[in-house]
């Protein structure tokens, strides 16, 4: 179980490393750089192929790398049939997507950045499906949402792209938060969030009183990611992304993350009444709505996008039955769908790229000009339509077998599936045959065959759809069987047949599907018009609802901000200082822990001198007749304190205090000269009294607090530890520095990250237009606060040493 | 503020302060000093240069945008922790080597790399704030 970095961890890291190098490779080699870059996913694919024999028996391989023992968060992976299938799809299809991107975006100035994003996504998706720990799954889950955001918004100068990107991020990111809540509940109920441990305890979660909230929260994650009705609207909008993204993220891999999650937790959360009610209903609805909406579209990509929604619905519906045969159907369908939909998207992109349009009504007769594209599209469409001898046919046979029954629920599922599959055939044929067959139509560009870079993907994927069916025995023993076993939670050794041995219900259902599909295909135009009328009659959709929701949210936050942030610095400072004074003083008074008055310490004359300087500085602040003098005078007091630190044995702290005081004065003075404030501080008598009281309360409060702290018995455990070990194990005599960079290095890493982020925020505020003067004032206080905060940190660590 | 004396001495003062800041950074493990204070000194050096000679010369002298310097620092800081992983020890374990350069034994360590990261973050962040505030006309 325990291992350090092994090959699989490197395979998980590889896409991230490739992401860092992609822009340089493209700069050197141009679009042909994608040949070189495609070696990365190809290598990962080969690596994972090596696991095929190990998982064939339905076993899972788990490995833990405890990279940070103190954190209690080891990196671990779990490879079984389910994750292996996904890993192979992600790296296999990813190889061709990288190639395809090189051709599709040839000459695009940002190709390097694009490939970088693709690799980041690849790494995130791979991490998601291979992680054993649910928290890690969540992190990768959100990373896929973020990379999807970057890729959808890639053409960021287009308003539609930006909207689609934000929409996808809000929906899938929001779902991710729901998933996180679910994971935390699982952790609380089961005491672990390792999948490999959870999977050994089936029934634990199902019988828990928290089962319903856990399930609903998980479904919140899965349904948003896998675009289930009524949250499906982001996926068609995501088609604003360049076509390689649509083919990769929004059909073959990312949108299946939700299905993956459901399949993964099926053994531990599935097979309950509520599971088998919610999933089939939402899945079935999504299937029907998706296909109907697809019929209405004329844009090739949108037609495919809506059928992707439908296919995801079908998968959710099948997983929801928790029936082993239906699960086997879902497993085959998932493989089939990734292959044919990835290929069809790439075909649509090729048509768009070579002919200049992807409106299906403006295309026709391209077969002569683009024979290879046509061939690949046709093979994929036949698989999508569920015709033999393609893997899509095997999938449909199996899933019909799984859900067929004469009782009402089974009947409902069967009818839903038949209608959905028939419409799927219609769209598949419309995408793959309409643009290529029939009379030649004038297109914006004179069409010709695409480059090899772009043809490789659709050709190989559609041939895989054929080969996986022709060598069905191999596929089922090595891929489908192990995957079905993982999903079902028991070892299955299914036998699938490409050609049915006897005429059973499923074969008849298949024939009915094909018949309905062909009839509808020839009436597509009137069907489309009818759908158009219906949707126009309804007039409202979730997409519009999203806009209403967002504008409501903006309005609400606007009102809240108006309420709690009136924009008056005075008020903010008063509230902050009053709260500080209360937090310091109230516990001391209420708990009766006021310190005793100490004896006057024996101090040397120069120590008194320094103290006097501080007092003089403060007096100067109060009597200053302009603001600049006040700021400088405050600096005097700060320097005096720094001197005191020096005299009483804290050179590091004193050093830092000197620099911080200097910089605070410089920055404050700069801010003051930027703002055309009154030179002098005008305060009414009333305000002087209020402000003075607050100042005395805060200052006095801290005085009392520090006094009572020093009167507590001193625990020297920590200081002894550091004094003893600083030189011995950290090789440093400066204990403060050793603590900062070694003993507590991770804390410091967090702190410098905060410093950098605060810097960015301040920079953004400075750059605001001069008309926003109030904000600039806030800048000064923020910068001052962040510097002061760091001194506080240093002080805290000084006191521990 | 831009008197002839100040403008003439500022470049020397700045270079001395930057040199001193590096000295403070490197001695930090054994004597008072370290990346944080070193970064503050360097940042104030550039702030002084900016006040004396205007912001554009400082930006040209720094070559990179101060925020990129801060970002690089954060990256180096994180990298210092990751190096340990490749040595097969837990994240952020300090590693030391003692190469001999010109006959003098020099102690190099991942905590030093990390401290350099801290130095760059503080330098970049504070310098970008100070320079941003100094170039007011351009806004």
Instruction: Indicate if the pLDDT at residue A769 is higher than 80.
Output: no
Is the residue at A67 inside a domain? Answer: no
Select from A666, A674, A749 the Cβ nearest to the Cβ of B130.
Answer: A666
Residue of B nearest to A74 (CA): B90
Is the residue at A195 inside a domain? Answer: no
Instruction: Judge whether B78 is closer than 8 Å to chain A, CB to CB.
Output: yes
Q: CA A120, CA A129: separation in Å to the nearest integer?
A: 15
Higher pLDDT, A68 or A656: A656
Supply the ipTM of this predicted assembly: 0.91
Neighbouring-strand partners of residue A75: A65
- Collect all residues of chain B within an 8 Å Cβ-Cβ radius of residue A769: 139
Q: CA A31, CA A25: separation in Å to the nearest integer?
A: 9
In this predicted structure, which of A213-227, A534-548, A604-618 has the lowest mean pLDDT?
Answer: A534-548
Instruction: Indicate if the pLDDT at residue A774 is higher than 90.
Output: no
Domain residue spans of chain B: 4-134
Across residues A276-293, what is the average pLDDT?
91
- Collect all residues of chain B within an 8 Å Cβ-Cβ radius of residue A652: 32-34, 37
Instruction: Indicate if the pLDDT at residue A634 is higher than 60.
Output: yes
In 3D space, the residue among A663, A628, A655, A650 whose CA is nearest the CA of residue A786 turns out to be A663
Instruction: Indicate if the pLDDT at residue A523 is higher than 70.
Output: yes
Is the residue at A236 inside a domain? Answer: no
Contact present, A725 and A717 (Cβ < 8 Å) = no
Confidence of residue A677 (pLDDT cuts 50, 70, 90): low
Across residues B83-110, what is the average pLDDT?
80
In 3D space, the residue among A73, A20, A246 whose CA is nearest the CA of residue A152 turns out to be A246
* Phi, psi dihedral angles at A343 (to 5 degrees): -65, -45
Contact present, A256 and A314 (Cβ < 8 Å) = no
Higher pLDDT, A34 or A786: A34
Residue B138: predicted pLDDT: 47
Confidence of residue B122 (pLDDT cuts 50, 70, 90): very high
Q: How far is CA A733 from CA B23, B41, B70, in A?
A: 16, 22, 28
Is the residue at A765 inside a domain? Answer: yes
Higher pLDDT, A783 or B48: B48
Q: Can you tell me which residue has the tokens 């003083």?
A: A585
Higher pLDDT, B99 or A170: A170
Across residues A716-721, what is the average pLDDT?
84
Q: Can you tell me which residue has the tokens 């005078």?
A: A633
Higher pLDDT, A603 or B2: A603
Instruction: Judge whether B126 is closer than 8 Å to chain A, CB to CB.
Output: yes
Polymer length of chain A: 801
C-beta atoms of A68 and B130 within 8 A = no
User: Using CB atoms and an 8 Å cut-off, which of residues 7-36 of chain B contact chain A?
Assistant: 28-36
Instruction: Indicate if the pLDDT at residue A796 is higher than 50.
Output: no
Residue A798: predicted pLDDT: 45
Across residues A30-47, what is the average pLDDT?
90
Q: CA A21, CA A112: separation in Å to the nearest integer?
A: 9
- Collect all residues of chain B within an 8 Å Cβ-Cβ radius of residue A64: none
Q: Report the share of chain A in percent with pLDDT over 90.
A: 29
Q: Report the share of chain A in percent with pLDDT over 70.
A: 94
Residue of A nearest to B34 (CA): A737
Q: CA A672, CA A627: separation in Å to the nearest integer?
A: 8
The total domain count for chain A is 1
Residue A193 Cα, gap to closest chain B Cα (Å) = 22
Higher pLDDT, A252 or A458: A458
Residue A181: predicted pLDDT: 95
Q: CA A451, CA A432: separation in Å to the nearest integer?
A: 19
Confidence of residue A59 (pLDDT cuts 50, 70, 90): confident
In this predicted structure, which of A55-59, A154-158, A189-193, A463-467 has the lowest mean pLDDT?
Answer: A55-59
Residue A336: predicted pLDDT: 92
Residue A706 Cα, gap to closest chain B Cα (Å) = 25
Q: Which of A42-51, A399-408, A658-667 is most confident? A: A42-51
Contact present, A447 and A318 (Cβ < 8 Å) = no
Residue A676: predicted pLDDT: 63
**What are A388's two structure tokens?**
């033999």
Residue B15: predicted pLDDT: 94
Select from B43, B78, B134 the Cβ nearest to the Cβ of A663.
Answer: B43
CA dihedral A186, A188, A194, A198 (to 10 degrees): -60
Tens-digit pLDDT profile for residues B105-116? 777 888 889 999
C-beta atoms of A755 and B41 within 8 A = no
Q: CA B61, CA A239: separation in Å to the nearest integer?
A: 45
Tens-digit pLDDT profile for residues A196-250? 888 888 888 888 889 999 999 999 999 999 989 888 888 888 888 888 898 898 8
Contact present, B118 and B73 (Cβ < 8 Å) = yes
Residue A4: predicted pLDDT: 54
Instruction: Indicate if the pLDDT at residue A192 is higher than 70.
Output: yes
User: HEC states along A651-662?
Assistant: HHHHHHHHHHHH
Residue A732 Cα, gap to closest chain B Cα (Å) = 5
Is the residue at A763 inside a domain? Answer: yes
C-beta atoms of B73 and A756 within 8 A = yes
Residue A5: predicted pLDDT: 63
Q: Which of A420-434, A504-518, B10-24 is most confident? A: B10-24
Measured in whole angstroms, how far is the alpha carbon of residue B126 from the centre of its chain? 10
Confidence of residue A650 (pLDDT cuts 50, 70, 90): confident
Tens-digit pLDDT profile for residues A294-318? 888 888 888 899 999 999 999 999 9
Instruction: Judge whether B56 is closer than 8 Å to chain A, CB to CB.
Output: no
Q: Which residues lie below 8 Å from residue A349, measured CB to CB, with a gap of 6+?
A: A100, A104, A243, A244, A246, A247, A301, A454
C-beta atoms of B132 and A748 within 8 A = no
Residue of B nearest to A783 (CA): B129
User: HEC states along A243-291?
Assistant: HHHHHHHHHHCHHHHHHHHHHHHHHHHCCCHHHHHHHHHHHHHHHHHHH
Helix, strand, coil percentages for chain A (3-state, nearest 5)? 75, 0, 20
**What are A651's two structure tokens?**
């050179």
Select from B31, B40, B67 the Cβ nearest to the Cβ of A734.
Answer: B31
C-beta atoms of A663 and B139 within 8 A = no
Neighbouring-strand partners of residue B96: B109
Instruction: Indicate if the pLDDT at residue A30 is higher than 50.
Output: yes
Is the residue at A787 inside a domain? Answer: yes
Instruction: Indicate if the pLDDT at residue A780 is higher than 80.
Output: no
Across residues A685-700, what is the average pLDDT?
91
- Domain membership of residue A777 as a residue range: 603-690+713-800
Residue A703 Cα, gap to closest chain B Cα (Å) = 27
Chain mean pLDDT for chain A: 85
Residue of B nearest to A655 (CA): B37
Greatest Cα pair distance, chain A, in angstroms, is 108
A contact test, residue of B90, B125, B127, B136 with most A CBs within 10 A: B125
Confidence of residue A679 (pLDDT cuts 50, 70, 90): low
């Amino acid at each position: 179980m325990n291992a350090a970095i092994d090959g699989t961890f490197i395979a998980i890291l590889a896409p991230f490393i490739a992401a860092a190098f992609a822009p340089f490779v493209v700069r050197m080699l141009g679009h042909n750089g994608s040949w070189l870059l495609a070696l990365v996913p190809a290598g990962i694919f080969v690596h994972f192929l090596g696991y095929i024999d190990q998982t064939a028996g339905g076993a899972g391989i788990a490995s833990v790398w405890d990279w940070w023992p103190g954190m209690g968060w080891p990196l671990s992976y779990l490879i079984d049939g389910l994750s292996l299938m996904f890993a192979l799809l992600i790296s296999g299809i990813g190889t061709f997507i990288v190639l395809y991107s090189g051709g599709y975006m040839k000459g695009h100035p940002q190709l390097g950045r694009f490939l970088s994003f693709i690799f980041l996504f690849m790494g995130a998706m791979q991490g998601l499906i291979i992680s054993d720990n649910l928290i890690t799954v969540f992190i990768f889950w959100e990373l896929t949402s973020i990379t999807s955001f970057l890729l959808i918004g890639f053409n960021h100068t287009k308003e539609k792209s930006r909207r689609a990107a934000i929409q996808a991020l809000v929906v899938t990111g929001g779902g991710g938060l729901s998933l996180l809540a679910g994971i935390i509940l699982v952790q609380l109920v089961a005491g672990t969030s390792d999948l490999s441990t959870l999977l050994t305890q089936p029934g634990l979660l199902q019988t828990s009183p928290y089962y319903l909230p856990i399930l609903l929260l998980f479904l919140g994650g899965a349904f948003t990611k896998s675009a289930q009705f009524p949250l499906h609207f982001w996926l068609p909008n995501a088609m604003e992304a360049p076509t390689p993204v649509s083919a990769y993220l929004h059909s073959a891999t990312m949108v299946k993350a939700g299905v993956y999650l459901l399949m993964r937790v099926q053994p531990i959360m599935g097979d309950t009444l509520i599971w088998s009610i919610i999933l089939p209903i939402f899945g079935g609805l999504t299937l029907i709505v998706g296909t109907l909406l697809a019929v209405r579209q004329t844009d090739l990509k949108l037609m495919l996008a809506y059928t992707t929604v439908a296919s995801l619905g079908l998968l959710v519906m099948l997983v929801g039955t928790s029936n082993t045969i239906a699960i086997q159907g879902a497993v085959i369908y998932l493989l089939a769908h990734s292959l044919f939909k990835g290929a069809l998207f790439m075909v649509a992109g090729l048509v768009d790229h070579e002919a200049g349009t992807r409106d299906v009504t403006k295309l026709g007769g391209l077969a002569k000009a683009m024979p290879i594209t046509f061939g690949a599209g046709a093979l994929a469409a036949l698989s999508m339509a569920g015709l033999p001898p393609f893997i899509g046919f095997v999938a449909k046979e199996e899933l019909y077998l799984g859900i067929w029954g004469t009782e009402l629920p089974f009947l409902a599922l069967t009818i839903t599936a038949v209608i959905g599959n028939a419409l799927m055939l219609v769209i598949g044929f419309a995408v793959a045959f309409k643009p290529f067959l029939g009379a030649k139509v004038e297109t914006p560009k004179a069409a010709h065959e695409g480059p090899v870079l772009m043809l490789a993907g659709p050709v190989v994927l559609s041939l895989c759809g054929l080969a996986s069916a022709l060598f069905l025995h191999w596929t089922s023993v090595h891929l489908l069987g192990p995957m079905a076993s993982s999903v079902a939670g028991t070892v299955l050794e299914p036998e699938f047949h490409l050609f049915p041995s006897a005429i059973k219900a499923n074969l008849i259902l298949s024939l009915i599907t094909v018949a309905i599909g062909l009839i509808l295909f020839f009436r597509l135009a009137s069907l489309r018009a009818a759908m158009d009328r219906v949707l126009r009659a309804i007039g409202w959709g979730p997409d519009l609802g999203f806009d209403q929701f967002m504008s409501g949210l903006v309005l609400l936050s606007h009102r809240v901000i108006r309420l709690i942030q009136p924009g008056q610095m005075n008020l903010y400072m008063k509230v902050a200082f009053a709260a500080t004074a209360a937090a310091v003083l109230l516990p001391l008074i209420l708990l009766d822990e006021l310190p005793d008055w100490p004896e006057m310490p024996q101090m040397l004359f120069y120590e008194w001198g320094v103290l006097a300087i501080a007092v003089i500085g403060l007096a100067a602040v109060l009597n200053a007749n302009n603001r600049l003098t006040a700021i400088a005078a405050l600096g005097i007091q700060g320097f005096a304190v720094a001197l005191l630190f020096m005299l009483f044995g804290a050179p590091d702290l004193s050093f830092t205090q000197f620099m911080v005081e200097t910089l605070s004065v410089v920055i404050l003075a700069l801010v003051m000269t930027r703002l055309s404030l009154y030179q002098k501080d005008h305060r009414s008598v009333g305000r002087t009294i209020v402000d003075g009281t607050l100042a005395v309360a805060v200052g006095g409060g801290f005085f009392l607090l520090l006094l009572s702290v020093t009167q507590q018995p001193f625990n020297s455990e920590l200081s002894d530890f550091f004094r003893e070990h600083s030189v011995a194990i950290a090789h440093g005599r400066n204990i403060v520095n050793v603590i900062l960079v070694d003993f507590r290095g991770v804390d410091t890493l967090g702190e410098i990250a905060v410093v950098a982020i605060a810097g960015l925020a301040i920079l953004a505020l400075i750059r605001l237009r001069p008309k926003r003067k109030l904000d600039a004032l806030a800048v000064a206080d923020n910068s001052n606060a962040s510097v002061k905060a760091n001194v506080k940190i240093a002080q805290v660590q000084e006191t521990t040493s | 503020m831009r008197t002839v004396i100040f403008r003439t001495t500022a470049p020397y003062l700045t270079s001395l302060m930057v040199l001193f800041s590096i000295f403070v950074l490197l001695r930090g493990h054994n004597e008072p000093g370290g990346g944080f204070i070193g970064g503050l000194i360097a940042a104030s050096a550039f702030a002084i240069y900016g006040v004396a000679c205007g912001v554009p010369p400082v930006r040209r002298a720094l070559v990179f945008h101060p925020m990129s310097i801060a970002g690089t620092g954060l990256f180096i800081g994180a990298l210092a922790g990751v190096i340990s992983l490749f040595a097969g020890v837990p994240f952020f374990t300090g590693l030391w080597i003692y190469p001999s350069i010109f006959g003098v034994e020099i102690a190099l360590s991942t905590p030093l790399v990390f401290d350099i990261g801290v130095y760059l973050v503080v330098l970049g962040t504070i310098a970008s704030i100070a320079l941003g505030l100094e170039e007011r006309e351009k806004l």
